[in-house]
Structures are given as C-alpha cells and as structure tokens.
Amino acid sequence: MGLQIPALNIKDLSVASSVVASEEIFGKPFNETLVHQLVTKYLAGSRAGTKAQKTRSDVSGGGAKPWRQKGTGRARSGTTRSPVWRTGGVAFAARPRNYDQKLNRKMFRTGLVSILSELLRQDRLIVIDSLSLESAKTKELSLKIKNFEATRSVLIVDVIDDNLALASRNITSLNVLEVNNLNPVLLVGADKVIITKDALKQLEERLA
C-alpha cells in the first residue's frame, strides 16, 4: 500500500495525473527532537568559522624589554606584545574553527523523512506532473509558480538544467534544489515545497 498523491499541472494547478508515494517516506510521524537536531547541524555547518585574532605570539616586535625592571616608577613590563599594551596581542584570541556537528546517516534519513511526511500532512508538499522551460527567462518561471501563492517556496527537481538555473536565480522567494542536495533548513522554512514526479521517484530511491 502507498499514498495516492495527485500530480498537478503547473500552469493551472489542475490534476494531470497521480503518483503512489511510499508510506515509509511520506507517512511517518513527526519527530520534533530529531528535526531540531538536523536543522541545528545544518545551521552550524553553514557558519564560516574564519574569524581570527592575533595572540601575543603572533604580534610582531616586542623582543626587547621596554624599560628596566626597577627604578622607573612605572609598572614592570617584559614585552610590548603583552595584551595590556595597545599594540599587543589579544588575551583570548578568536581562532579559525569548524562548527560542524556530527549526525550519522540513519538519523539524517529519519529526520528528512519526518520533515517530508509533515509537509505532506500540512498540504505544503505539492507534486507537479512535469516542469519544462522553453527559455531561460525569469518571467516564464515566475508565471508558472505564481499560482502557488507562496511567500517562500522550494522547487525540487531531479536535474537543474541551464534554463532553470538561469531563470530561477533572480527569484528571491524561490530556492531550486536537486534531490541529492536537499536542505532541511529550506524545507522547514518553506510555505510550499514543489516537487516533480521524476524527482519524487528519485527521492524515494535515495531514502529507501
């Protein structure tokens, strides 16, 4: 048994055909804890982690003692590279680091399945029969997705061709993804997730 999902015509949103989707992928309960962990991993992994500051060992100069230890009336000082000096290093300097979090393959799959199942339950996952663009013009694609009335939408296809890549890059409210590069953060934040029949079958094979 599978879930019978209508496949719409993208031009007028009429039912063009239907597709049978796997309940193992689109019929699972929502696991909020796991989805939160999955989204957190993606957000953490997107952090650059390239911030860097100089410690006292990185600052140039300061090889000689600024003044003698006693008799000057000033506080003793051994080097101008000390953090207490204006030109010195930083006491607890930021260093380049990797913010990525570990999440094993099974947890990733289960979290993604949970998101897809919830999208379908909330009628936010829409299957379209096909998508073809005659040109790379943004206007053509914009007119096709206008009927979905979504502020933020994600379009999932099996392959992003040149026309689709060029036509979608100026539509700020639309993110186009291939099945092999799904982003849980974009899926959770989208008002509508539009997926082609071919992409749906490829997605089932990947998550099976």
**Burial grade of 66 (CB within 10 A; 0-12, 13-18, 19 or more):** middle
User: Which pLDDT tens digit goes with each residue over 113-161?
Assistant: 999 999 999 999 999 998 988 889 999 999 989 888 889 999 999 999 9
**What pTM value is reported for the model?**
0.83
Q: List the domains of the chain with CATH numbers.
A: 2-46+113-207 (3.40.1370.10)
Q: Measured between alpha carbons, how far is 91 from 131 in angstroms, rounded to an integer?
A: 57
Sign of CA dihedral 150, 153, 158, 160: positive
User: Which pLDDT tens digit goes with each residue over 95-113?
Assistant: 999 999 999 999 999 999 9
**Burial grade of 106 (CB within 10 A; 0-12, 13-18, 19 or more):** exposed
Q: What amino acid is encoded at 16 in this protein?
A: A
Give the CA angle between residues 84, 87, 93 to the nearest 5°: 70
SS3 sequence of 14-28? CEEEEEEEEHHHHCC
